[in-house]
Amino acid sequence: MPMIDLSHKPSGWLKKLLRAPTYLYRARLGFLFGRRFVMIEHRGRRSQKLYRTVIEVADRCPPEWICTSGTGPRADWYRNLRANGVEAIWIGSRRHDASVRFLEPTESAEHMRRYEDAHPRTAAKLYETMGVSYDGTEDDLVRMMGEIPMVAFTPLP
């Protein structure tokens, strides 16, 4: 059993802990996270309120930043993007208007394979905390990526 379970929506102390990086980005200290994380600005699907969420970068295919919804398609930020798109993306300490593209499981599997190659232990822990797994085959990786949506953000000029 993982210490942190991301197969469900975080609450309580974990939710507060996961929000801490947002405050650092807003203080223009996003450079502390290097290129491993970005902060996205998005509007609530019903409220239209502006939200900011820090998410991990799984891959880079310039000019795109590929990110994963670690809590699956039920993550609020992912559902908000589906409904309203993205307002902006923060890379380091800089804010950029951006566009978003939703990846199909086959393309997501390619990016996840590269993520696994670059960060094997982190990928294993990520699967454990998300409550997902696959048998190591390409077909099963594609199946799993149907449960773990990926999005591509492109900063606009």
Give yes or no for residue 1 having a pLDDT over 70. Answer: no
Query: What whole-number distance in Å separates Cα of residue 111 and Cα of residue 95?
Result: 24
Which residue range forms the structural domain that includes residue 76? Answer: 12-104+147-155
Residue 35: CA count within 13 A, CB half-sphere: 7
Q: In the chain, what are the helix, strand and coil shares in percent, each to the nearest 5?
A: 40, 25, 30
141 occurs within a structural domain: no
Query: What whole-number distance in Å separates Cα of residue 7 and Cα of residue 71?
Result: 6
**What is the per-residue pLDDT across 15-43, written as a single tens digit (0 to 9) for each?**
777 778 888 888 888 899 888 999 999 99
Domain count, the chain: 1
Q: Which domain CATH number covers 71?
A: 2.30.110.10
90 occurs within a structural domain: yes
69 occurs within a structural domain: yes
**What is the per-residue pLDDT across 60-118, written as a single tens digit (0 to 9) for each?**
999 999 999 888 888 999 999 999 999 999 999 999 999 999 999 999 999 999 999 99
**What is the per-residue pLDDT across 137-150, written as a single tens digit (0 to 9) for each?**
999 999 999 988 99
Can you read off the two tokens belonging to residue 95? 């804010």
46 occurs within a structural domain: yes
Can you read off the two tokens belonging to residue 70? 């670690």
Complete DSSP assignment for 80-99: HHHHH--SEEEETTEEEEEE
